[in-house]
Structure 1
Amino acid sequence: MITMLDHPAISFTRMAIMSSIVVLLTVEMVARGFNFGVDALSMNYYMLSCPMAEGIVRDTVFRSLQDDPTLAGPLLRMHFHDCWIQGCDASILIDSTKDNTAEKDSPANLSLRGYEVIDGAKDELEKQCPGVVSCTDIVAMVARDAVFLTGGPIYDIPKGRKDGRRSRIEDTINLPFPTFNSSELTRVFGGRGFTIQEMVALSGAHTLGVARCSSFKNRLSSADPSMDSDFAKTLSKTCSGGDTAEQPLDATRNSFDNLYFIALQRKAGVLFSDQTLFSSPWTQGVVNGYAMNQAMFFLDFQQAMLKMSVLDVKEGPSGEVRKDCRKIN
């Protein structure tokens, strides 16, 4: 049986990524030198308790993207939407009940997809090493592998997070809005400990996936000087299909690259919160740098993702390892 690691397409992708000397030389530095700030987390957390965990997750993501390449963007954003609310604790996976409306049913999260990918990885892990691998570690590993399998940087993340026991729709009010300007984004990201450069790097995740018309149609009601007039026509045509009509966030929606930043230079950012990064003098230089140097974007992105992946993680009795990612034990 051919696994994900044996597949020729993945071998080609791996060689292409590893051809970047900058990224290669910094992966080990990032993995070893990053201060996780959480003693329980470790790059080799499952080495003894579930040594096949990483391979199971990678194979699951590979097969899922082979069947549906458009899942990469939603899977990456699932990790961000999880960590931003109550920390990285898989709260985004919990289903609503008659007594509680969970995060995943918030309007801000309705465009997320791929929950079945997490379920598939969890089911296989429970067969191999029951009660060991947390759902939030799976979410983090899935996002990492989605980046790599679509042409992005290869990087490692620490494991050992525990799953949370709370998921409420009202908490999603703290997610960044697509209508935020650069000052608002700087304030919100700064409140979570991110620098302006890290904020722009994380925004580069929008190189994958699509946005729904409902998240950008406000830009079309009046002339937006930050948007190219021809691109405005493109967005208007998309929105003729209704609020759920989808617009790719850059020209290569299923490939992780720096075209997102090039689009911002051309005033072709889909969301106002994207285009504002080029409009603002505080962030324009970072956008220009990433548009010119993809390797620099990859390096900064992987470091920012490492930092994000340890936001307010749960340890010991403050969390659990769910048997079913969709509900608390």
Structure 2
Amino acid sequence: MELTNIPYLASSSSSSFFSSYCSSTCRGRRAGKLFLTASAAGGRSADDLAHSQLFEQENEGALSGPRSSWHYKRREFTSAIFLPFLLPHADIASAAEAYDGSIIRSGVRNVLTKAKAAGVLRLVFHDAGTFDVSDKSGGMNGSIIYEVDRPENTGLNRSIKILGKAKAGIDDIQKVSWADLIAVAGAEAVALCGGPEIPVRLGRLDSSTADPAGKLPEETLDAAALKLAFSTKGFSTQEMVVLSGAHTIGGKGFGSPVIFDNSYFKVLLEGKPQTSSSGMEAKAMVGLRTDWALTEDDECLRWIRIYAEDQARFFDDFRDTYIKLVDSGVTWRTA
């Protein structure tokens, strides 16, 4: 049975590491501290933790006899009032195992910049892109850390090292899987560059081995072959086109490399890359062969036009398809 109390983590670029889980008010500060402690407390119950946080001063000077009994009853009464507010929407018995998603998000922000965003987003695609709908193999499982030597993954070791620094800090507070970390980091990369905020469900388990090779679409495919490749992963033509819009950031030449917008689609509508005076196509002028292949297919071209004209529609559809991508092939934690 899947965990029902694992949160969806909404990506946002506005909170600091401290303020994301600790309010400036006295009550909020206690709530944040209690949740963090409960997450790492092991055998201690949430009720014991509530007593120790709310009444530690009273415990130091507690007296025997009637006064001690009065303190004990007061503790019970105050705990009954405040505990539901300290741990909202959570099962008290399982609070020690609950994720605090803001810790993962804040850890990612500590290492992520706009210049690194495209590489981190590419890491998401290459980890999740091994999914095969026919046998449910591959997918978002953190196996990319075993696959960096493959030609299609050249350069991704840099992004893994960046997220490895975040993981070390997060693991000191609560353990995070590579799969969860990469999924959250990709959403943060999009938001950091001005794209949509994407909620990410937590609780993915990591694979201990590499996924099968040869599962990612090659850069030389035409539109028909691309559509077939994405269909084997459970994605429609529309979803393939909207995911391709991620190339709007990075060094592929579609608009600003650090602004997530719909420039990718506008540039595709402007025409093919220019050719040199010798008549040969300019090397790496703009984009990949697969980007321009989309313009040669009527169905793909229809979606390119839609997203070129309506950035809000692109953002909405990208958010939904990203969630589908990072949930593909996942093995979830069980209660």
**1-structure distance, mates of 2:187, 2:209:** 24
Q: Name the amino acid aligned to 2:170.
A: L
Please state if 1:251 is matched with 2:260.
no
Aligned amino acid, residue 270 of structure 2: R
Query: CA, structure 1 residues 47+75, in 2 after alignment: closer, same or farther (shift >3 Å)?
Result: farther
CA distance in 2, matches of 1:50, 1:126: 14
| Divergent runs of 4+, >6 A | 44-47
The corresponding residue for 1:231 is none
Cα distance in 1, alignment partners of residues 253 and 216 from structure 2: 19
SS in 1 for 2:329: coil
In the alignment, the residues of structure 2 paired with residue 126 and residue 184 of structure 1 have an alpha-carbon distance, to the nearest angstrom, of 41
Q: Does 1:262 align with 2:260?
A: no
Tell whether 2:245 aligns with 1:204.
Answer: yes
1:55 equivalenced with 2:81 (yes/no): no
What residue identity is the alignment partner of 1:165? S
Residue 324 of structure 2 is aligned to residue 279 of structure 1: no
1:155 aligns with 2:159: no
CA-based RMSD of the aligned residues comes to: 2.4
- Native 8 Å contact 1:56 1:124 kept in 2: no
Q: Residues of 2 paired with 1:127 and 1:160: CA distance?
A: 18
* Equivalent position to 2:230, from 186, 189, 208: 189
Q: Percent identity?
A: 31
1: CA distance between counterparts of 2:15 and 2:129? 35
**Aligned residue type for 1:5:** S
**2:188 matched residue in structure 1:** 145
Give the Cα separation in 1 of the matches to 2:246 and 2:96.
Answer: 32
Offset of 1:5 from its aligned partner?
A: 3.4
CA 1:180–1:5: 2 relative to 1, 3 Å: same
**Alignment equivalent of 1:119, drawn from 164, 175, 178:** 164
Cα 1:308–1:57 change in 2 (3 A) is same
Q: Is the 8 A contact 1:251 1:259 kept in 2?
A: yes
Which amino acid counterpart does residue 124 of structure 2 have in structure 1? H
Aligned length: 227
Deviation at 1:51, TM superposition (A): 4.5
Q: Secondary structure at the match of 2:307?
A: helix
TM norm structure 1: 0.64
Gaps of 5+ in 1: 8-43, 95-102, 211-247, 318-329
Alignment of 1:23-172 (within 5 A): 49=97, 51-52=99-100, 54-66=101-113, 69-85=114-130, 86-94=138-146, 103-112=147-156, 113-129=158-174, 132-167=175-210, 171-172=212-213
Q: 1:249 to 1:47 in 2, by over 3 A?
A: farther
Structure 1 counterpart of 2:80: none
Residues 144, 316 of structure 1: alpha-carbon distance in 2 compared, 3 angstrom cutoff = closer
Cα deviation, residue 48, structure 1 = 5.5
8 Å contact from structure 2 (residues 269, 305) kept in 1? yes
Q: Secondary structure at the match of 1:105?
A: coil
Task: Classify the secondary structure of the residue corresponding to 1:273.
Answer: helix
Paired residue type of 1:111: G
Supply the distance in 1 between the matched residues of 2:103 and 2:253 (Cα, whole angstroms): 30
Residue equivalent to 1:312: 329
Structure 1 residues 265 and 306, CA, compared in 2 at 3 Å: closer, same or farther?
same
After superposition, give the CA deviation of every residue in 1:166-192 in whole Å (9 maximum; x if it has no partner): 116xx3311011111110110010111
Q: Deviations along 1:286-310, whole A, 9 cap, x unmatched?
A: 0011011000000110111111111
Q: Secondary structure in 1 aligned to 2:312?
A: helix
The answer for the alignment partner of 2:134 in structure 1 is none
Which residue identity is paired with 1:60? Answer: G
**Aligned-pair CA distance for 1:254:** 1.1
Deviations 1:90-134 (A, max 9, x none): 01123xxxxxxxx111110013231123212211121112xx421
Does 2:317 correspond to 1:300? Answer: yes
Amino acid at match of 2:116: L
- One-letter code of the match for 2:298? P
Could you tell me whether the CA contact under 8 Å between 1:258 and 1:291 is conserved in 2? yes
User: Aligned in 2, Cα 1:198/1:62: closer, same or farther, shift over 3 Å?
Assistant: same
C-alpha distance in 2 between matches for 1:206 and 1:110: 17
Where does the alignment leave 5 or more consecutive residues of structure 2 unmatched?
Answer: 1-12, 17-89, 131-137, 274-285
Tell me the distance in 1 between the aligned counterparts of 2:107 and 2:253: 25
**Counterpart contact for 2:238–2:300, Cα < 8 Å:** yes
